[in-house]
Amino acid sequence: MIAFIKGEVIEVQENKIILESSQIGYNIFMPGSTLDGMLHPGDEVKIYTYLNVREDAMQLYGFLTKDDLNTFQLLLGVNGIGPKGALGILSGITADELRFAVLSDDAATIAKAPGIGKKTAQKLILELKDKLNLEDAFEQKLSSRQTARGELPGSGDASKEAVQALVALGYSSTDALRAVKLVEGAREMSVEEILKQSLKKMHI
């Protein structure tokens, strides 16, 4: 119904902002990671929104990027996770971290999110794994921020791209290089295959 709202941040509260647009003040619930120092009163912003309609209320959930909104909606498709739970997950980890955690079966990272236990994290991985693609996750990561260049002398382009993806995800160049080097038969693998194996090495 409402794709996005452009306006001025009037107030930043614990779990939401008040955004004024066309003389209307909107209460918009947002991830804690976004509210923590990223938004300030007076900021002019564009917020991508999701309208949650209940019998007793209509609530707007907002995000600074379409990627975060799409990830939020993906989480809503998981049985047992509602808007508050999905928002809690995105408050604890980024959309990129969530994608890579799901694709590498890393329940521990997902369980770091507020209110998410290990069982829920494992269930989330099972339900989302078929809906995510590692190559797409890599492309999303590259488009969201510039990546540091990881060099892997003597290896193919796929290994170099795998290192870049790991560095983009937040791992140090040293750890990324080490993990990729530990992958046996990397020369014959695709970037996706190398990433899957490398991420497993990261969590040993």
Whether 102 and 143 share a structural domain: no
Total count of domains within the chain = 3
Alpha-carbon torsion 196, 202, 122, 114, what sign? negative
Q: For position 95, which CATH number holds?
A: 1.10.150.20
Percent of the chain exceeding pLDDT 70 equals 86
pLDDT tens-digit series, residues 2-45: 899 999 999 999 899 999 999 999 999 999 888 887 889 999 99
pLDDT tens-digit series, residues 108-163: 888 888 778 888 889 999 999 888 765 566 556 655 543 333 333 334 578 878 88
Burial of 62 (0-12, 13-18, 19+ CB in 10 A): buried
What is the mean predicted confidence (pLDDT) over 91-107?
85
At which of 38, 63, 88 does a domain end? Answer: 63
At which of 78, 109, 131 does a domain end? Answer: 131
| The predicted structure's pLDDT at residue 162 | 83
Alpha helices by DSSP H, 36-117: 66-76, 83-92, 95-103, 107-110
Whether 118 and 166 share a structural domain: no
Higher pLDDT, 201 or 26: 26
Are 45 and 65 a contacting pair, CB within 8 Å?
A: no
Tokens of residue 158, six digits: 């796929």
Domain containing 158 equals: 134-202
| The predicted structure's pLDDT at residue 112 | 83
Whether 140 and 198 share a structural domain: yes
Whether 161 and 184 share a structural domain: yes
Judge whether residue 75 has pLDDT over 80: yes
Whether 101 and 141 share a structural domain: no
pTM of the prediction? 0.67
Q: Find where tokens 């040993």 sit.
A: 204
At which of 107, 131, 155 does a domain end? Answer: 131
Nearest alpha-carbon partner for 60 in 70, 69, 71, 49: 49
Higher pLDDT, 189 or 63: 63
Q: For position 27, which CATH number holds?
A: 2.40.50.140
